[in-house]
Amino acid sequence: MAKRILITGHNGYIGSVMAPHLAAAGYDVVGMDTGFFGECSLVPELGLVGTIKKDIRDLNARDLEGFNAVVHLAALSNDPIGNLNDGWTEEINFKATMKLAELAKAAGVDRFLFSSSCIMYGASSTADVTEDSPLDPKTEYARSKVKAEHALVKMADKNFSPIYIRNGTIYGVSPRMRFDTVLNDLVGRAATTGKVTVFSDGKPWRPVMHVQDVARYFQLYLEAPKEKIHNQAFNSGANDLNHQIIELAQIAVATVPGAKLEMQPQPGADQRTYKADFGKFARTFPDFKFKWNVRTGAQELYEAYKKAGITHADFVDKKFTRLKWLHYLLDSGRLDGSLRWKTN
Ligand SMILES: NC(=O)c1ccc[n+]([C@@H]2O[C@H](COP(=O)([O-])OP(=O)(O)OC[C@H]3O[C@@H](n4cnc5c(N)ncnc54)[C@H](O)[C@@H]3O)[C@@H](O)[C@H]2O)c1
């Protein structure tokens, strides 16, 4: 019988690629999402899975019955959202994660994949960060990931295996597109304005992975023998997928005919830098190959933007920037002050 898995946040940027991927791989997938970004579609759905529309802060024991594994993606998913209201980030990214994990454990779910982030290493070190490097979270978002990991570690036992999947910055086409991650943004600028302006000195590093490769490596963690992954953190990616912003910008302009690169270093520009060491991932999963690189990914993005007819107005519209869209839902009264839907 197919393994039954619950994916929280299956309606988001990563989830709307991962859920159909895992369903196609033979899993019996159920998605749970409150649907903050349900209207923010760029390309058609890749496939539909069973869905529970629910806020993960409102879970009860029955919601977790009958699953073999939980893939936990639902979160307020970046730094600026954390700055909007740190209480929401704490509630959703930390407290609701813990409740979800406790209910999952009580229901006999034996594997819990936590979608974490390399951002927790802080952002100023020039050394490559391994899973053992000190954590230095600088934002509410990063702190929420650290707190959740630390608390999940304590819940691990012989019947419950949490795994901390520390992602880099993810790019690539998804039904629930975001333009607020680095390569999606750079290619979007090049495609809609003919210009990419880099406001830092271009030197900061980012590990960047394609969303389809992310879906594929989450599957690795579902299928790996328990002893390889039990209660462990993994920087998830490959060393040659670390890039400096300047390189990403150069590739974005090279992909879009006629686009130009402009350097305008400014004091106070985003100089966050992190370069991750992916040696542990490579040693644990020696046969896994990343199918995408920045060049092929930038080309895919450009083609998708052209096909969808994205204009500059679409590019800067609220729909594809998580923070702007949440602001809009709040300002238009569709979400209440606790970030829950008012009606439906
Ligand atoms: N995209 C990246 O570059 C990246 C990098 C590192 C880690 N991550 C992590 O991966 C996960 C998914 O990221 P994403 O880019 O798909 O984000 P996203 O914002 O596109 O999707 C998150 C999904 O979670 C849902 N959600 C949020 N709060 C919820 C709640 N209270 N109840 C139910 N559903 C809720 C949203 O409706 C949305 O569909 C997040 O945990 C994020 O922190 C993402």
Is residue 98 in a domain?
A: yes
Assigned domain for 97 exists: yes
Beta-carbon count within 10 A of 195 CB = 14
* Beta carbons of 251 and 198 less than 8 angstroms apart: no
Q: Name the residue with tokens 């034996």.
A: 110
pLDDT at 85: 81
What DSSP designation does 179 have?
S
C-alpha distances in Å from residue 62, one per residue of 100, 107, 108, 287, 337: 11, 8, 12, 38, 27
Tell me the H-state helices in the chain: 15-24, 79-84, 86-89, 96-106, 140-155, 182-193, 211-223, 226-229, 245-255, 279-284, 294-308, 312-316, 322-331
Residue whose CA is at the smallest distance from ligand 1 atom 35 = 74
Q: Which residue range forms the structural domain that includes residue 133?
A: 4-179+209-241+277-294+322-331
Which pLDDT tens digit goes with each residue over 48-70?
899 999 999 999 999 999 999 99
| Distance from the alpha carbon of residue 15 to the mean position of ligand 1, in angstroms | 8
Q: Is residue 109 part of a domain?
A: yes
The two structure tokens encoding residue 195: 């210009």
Among 8, 36, 94, name the best residue to mutate to test ligand 1's pocket (greatest count of ligand atoms within 8 A of Cβ).
36
Distance 55 CA to ligand 1 centre (A): 13
Find the CATH number of the domain harbouring 129: 3.40.50.720
Ligand 1 centroid distance, CA of 137 (Å): 18
Q: What angle do CA 36, 248, 294 make, to 5 degrees?
A: 75
Q: What residues flank ligand 1, with Cβ below 6 Å? A: 9, 11-15, 33-37, 55-57, 73-77, 92, 96, 115, 117, 167, 169-170, 176, 178, 181, 322
Specify if 197 maps to a domain: no
Residue 188 lies in a domain: no
- Position 270 scores a pLDDT of 74
Looking at the domain assignment, is residue 148 inside a domain?
yes
Count of domains for the chain: 1
Higher pLDDT, 177 or 344: 177
Per-residue model confidence as pLDDT tens digits over 145-202: 999 999 999 999 999 999 999 999 999 999 999 999 999 999 999 999 999 999 888 9
- Closest ligand 1 atom, residue 72 Cα: 41
Classify residue 115 by its DSSP letter.
E
In a domain, residue 89? The reply is: yes
- The Cβ of residue 101 has, within 10 Å, a number of other Cβ atoms equal to 23
Q: Which of 76, 275, 83 is nearest to 168 (CA)?
A: 275
This prediction has a pTM of: 0.97
Top mutation candidate among 51, 73, 95 for ligand 1, by most atoms within 8 Å of CB: 73
Identify whether 234 is part of a domain: yes
Nearest to 213 by CA among 21, 44, 74, 3: 21
Q: Which residue has the tokens 């929401």?
A: 88
